[in-house]
Structure 1
Amino acid sequence: MATGMENYNDFQLFRACGPLYPAFAIESLTSILLGFFFCYLALRITVRTDVNAPMASMYRWIVDSLKQPLRFWWQEMKQWPDMPNRPLADRIKLCRLLNLAMCIAQAAAAFFTVLRWLHISNVNGLRYLGYAFTCALMQAELVVLIAPYVPCYKFNVVGVVIFTHVWLVLGWVGSLQSGFLFEDASWESFVENYDFEVLIVTNKGLLIAATAVGLCGLMLVQMPFLSLIYFIKGGCKAHPDLPYYYMRLMMTVWFTWPAFPAWWLVSAEGLGLLEDAKSNSVGFAILNCISKGSFTYFMLKTGADHKRRWAKQPSTGTKPAETNWMVRNLQSYDSQGAPQVQKSLPAEAEGEKDASDTEQAQNTWV
């Protein structure tokens, strides 16, 4: 057996260790349980006997902290069917929240990947599920931004989300299949004379082909359809109801999404032109940063440009917009300058406040 292993390349060894998946998953689970146990002990030491149920109190505190932003996000999301009747500012706001969900989902998938959960056959399932969720949201944003001009808007949004999700899940199922895209003998014959008729596609090849067809459907049908609507309705010029950076969002998807299957094809999971399994994950990580990072950048530019060009100036006496909870909390720690409230405090009051905070901290941890 050792002799056979020596003939394996890096990726073949990686897949051969797939049966160790339960051991990896159990090790990750026990590490998490161990961490929670010692966090509980640290919490008990901190609160002493001043809190009767520290774990329940901590849970309620976390839920309470998340309840407000989650409720706000959900209330905004429920308005998606009405976007054709809303101004561009509202549609940009909804897309910004979709973009936020996309980034959080991708971050969660990245962090949970460290635990190697869903690494069935040593294929990172969280990567594919992350794509299935985030790419579907990106396609939904492209529809929502020009919602008043998209025919069958609701059907289009739901259809493109489901379609994108399904073909990416098929890509994951295909990657789980062992072997090559074509039967070995037929591939060797093809390499000799480049006759496509001798190729025999495996089940893995069929699933990957279905994924490729889904990607081509989006790139060659859905997105050109949306772009055509954008140009027909006057989006090539400054328009108060059409986003100026819309085509840049389109170009971001057009130029970055095909790089993912191209990298998969040359990597160890595809044709095996790169046999190093480590380069596989590094390449996908870089592509993720470029694709979703540039999409988010132009999404933010879209909102800033619309606000600069078309937002009405607030009249005198209008109540200023309230900053969100994260901005309010982060401003107090902003190294670029103290908040206005703190700046307005006299020096003596600041000294008294610092002394009070120090005394309170000492009482808390003693």
Structure 2
Amino acid sequence: MAEIQGLNDFQLFRACGPLYPAFAIESLTSILLGVFFCYLALRITVRTDVNAPVMSMLRWMRDSLREPLGYWWQEMKTWPEMNKRPLADRIKICRLLNLAMCIAQAAAAFFTVLRWLHIQNVNGLRYLGYAFTCALMQAELVVLIAPYVPCYKFNVVAVVIFTHLWLVLGWIGSLQAGFLFEDASWESFVENYDFNLLIVTNKGLLIAATAVGLCGLMFVQMPFLSLIYFIKGGYKAHPDLPYYYMRLMMTVWFTWPAFPAWWLVSAEGLGLLADAKSNSVGFAILNCISKGSFTYYMLKTGADHKKRWAKPQGDASKPVEANWMVRNLKSYDSQGVLNVKAGHCKVPSLERSVA
């Protein structure tokens, strides 16, 4: 007991890694317990009026999600054609990519509570969330200026795969115990400042590979896209180039470096900040700033394009149909159908016509 009390937060963070199976099993049993009582509640509700309540519930959920998921997938299948499509179509598919990014990050955040991937006390779901969402952010930057990007399809596939791979390597590196360099070689380096004395550990190699990959994105891929944007007329109002494109770039340039910087000082990295409780708080704040600002400027891009290059009045083209979520929420919008006057509340009908 005295040995445990003598450890700081960073040391405890690593020492408690073997408790991972206990946390995972406790989360699993809690989920199974909740599912069991949900089943009992369902049986009580339907009584004997539904022969197969579980299968009926699953089919209802499937049918409820079929429309939005089918729409999303049909739009995603058009990504190879974005180099031949107008900006409005490219903004549309990027908005759907942004939607997938936000849902993936939300799912990772909620499932983190279960601690199912807290191997060695390192939150694996956070790294997988980065690997998925950061890859989509890089893909959006390419798709927005797709007609002007050389080898467009190859560029999109390569940037998604490599961004994902580098961040998974970062997760594997974080699982390794110890320092980036062997202790004796690091002490010798501190005394003499001779880089030839440093001996890199496996953790150091994995983290170095991740750093090189992310630097490639920051200092090669993104400047390359920015150069194309300006060469093709992005320095002025252009009907086929997004006005807020460079602001999207800036959100990545200025927020992404903060993640490895925080990792270095946190309990997952070098443990320079021994308070492990601040670890997840710091990453949560950085996620909100990075992906929140990226989403904000993605929405501004679409709104600006619609405002600047709106269709002329009298255009006989087919009007844009409201999406699944808008149609369902309109009935409950306090600014729309639902009205409260003189103490009377008019509730919209929930009946639906059957085709």
TM-score tier, shorter chain, comes to over 0.9
- 2:215 maps to 1:224: no
Partner of 2:150: 151
CA distance in 2, matches of 1:163, 1:285: 24
Q: Are 1:312 and 2:311 matched, yes or no?
A: yes
In the TM superposition, what is the alpha-carbon distance from 1:64 to its structure 2 partner?
Answer: 0.4
Q: Deviations over 1:200-256 (max 9, x none)?
A: 111000100000000100001000000000000000100000000000000000000
TM-score (norm 2): 0.94
Q: Kindly tell me: are residues 118 and 54 of structure 1, through their superposed partners in 2, closer, same or farther at Cα, counting changes over 3 Å?
A: same
Once the 2 structures are TM-superposed, how far is the Cα of residue 268 of structure 1 from its aligned partner?
1.8
What's the counterpart of residue 293 of structure 1?
292
Structure 1's 117 and 314: CA in aligned 2 closer, same or farther, altered over 3 A?
farther
Distance 1:163 1:275 in 2: 32
- 1:187/1:139 CA distance change after superposition, 3 Å: same
Whether the aligned pair in 1 keeps the contact of 2:108 and 2:129 (CA below 8 Å) is yes
Match for residue 122 of structure 1?
121
2:270 alignment partner, SS class: coil
Query: 1:364 maps to which residue?
Result: none
Assess if the C-alpha contact under 8 Å between 2:13 and 2:267 holds in 1. no
Whether 1:14 aligns to 2:13 is yes
Number of equivalenced pairs: 350
Matching residue of 2:52: 53
1:315-342 CA-partner distances (Å, limit 9, x unpaired): 376653221121122222223x232xx6
Q: Any gaps of 5 or more consecutive residues in structure 2?
A: none
Distance 1:317 1:145, change over 3 A: closer
Give the Å deviation of 1:266.
1.3
**Counterpart amino acid of residue 267 in structure 1:** S
Q: Residue type of the partner of 1:291?
A: S
Q: Over aligned residue pairs, what C-alpha RMSD do you find? A: 2.2
Aligned to 2:206: 207
Q: Which residue of 1 aligns with 2:336?
A: 338
Partner residue in 2 for 1:31: 30
Equivalences for residues 51-90 of structure 1 within 5 A: 51-90=50-89
> 2:199 and 2:223 mapped to 1: Cα distance?
33
Judged with a 3 Å threshold, the aligned counterparts in structure 2 of structure 1 residues 350 and 289 are, in CA distance, closer, same or farther, namely closer
Q: What's 2:181 paired with?
A: 182
For the residue of structure 1 that corresponds to 2:235, the secondary structure is coil
* Amino acid paired to 1:26: I
Q: Secondary structure at the match of 2:229?
A: helix
CA distance in 1, matches of 2:212, 2:321: 46
Q: 1:320 to 1:170 in 2, by over 3 A?
A: same
CA distance in 1, matches of 2:332, 2:345: 16
Structure 2 match to 1:302:
301
The CA distance in 2 between the partners of 1:164 and 1:257, in whole Å, is: 13
> Does residue 1:110 correspond to 2:109, yes or no?
yes
Q: How many percent of aligned residue pairs carry the same amino acid?
A: 84
Deviation at 1:87, TM superposition (A): 0.2
Q: Match of 2:199, SS? A: coil
Q: Measured at CA, do residues 277 and 311 of structure 1 come closer, stay the same or move farther in structure 2, by a change above 3 Å?
A: same
Structure 2 residue aligned with 1:94: 93
Q: Determine the structure 2 residue equivalent to 1:244.
A: 243
- 1:41 aligns with 40
Q: Scaled by the length of structure 1, what TM-score is found?
A: 0.91
Q: Deviations over 1:265-297 (max 9, x none)?
A: 111222221011111111000000000000000
Q: In 2, distance between residues paired with 1:178 and 1:230?
A: 43
Per-residue deviation, residues 58-87 of structure 1 (Å, max 9, x unmatched): 100000000110010000000000001100
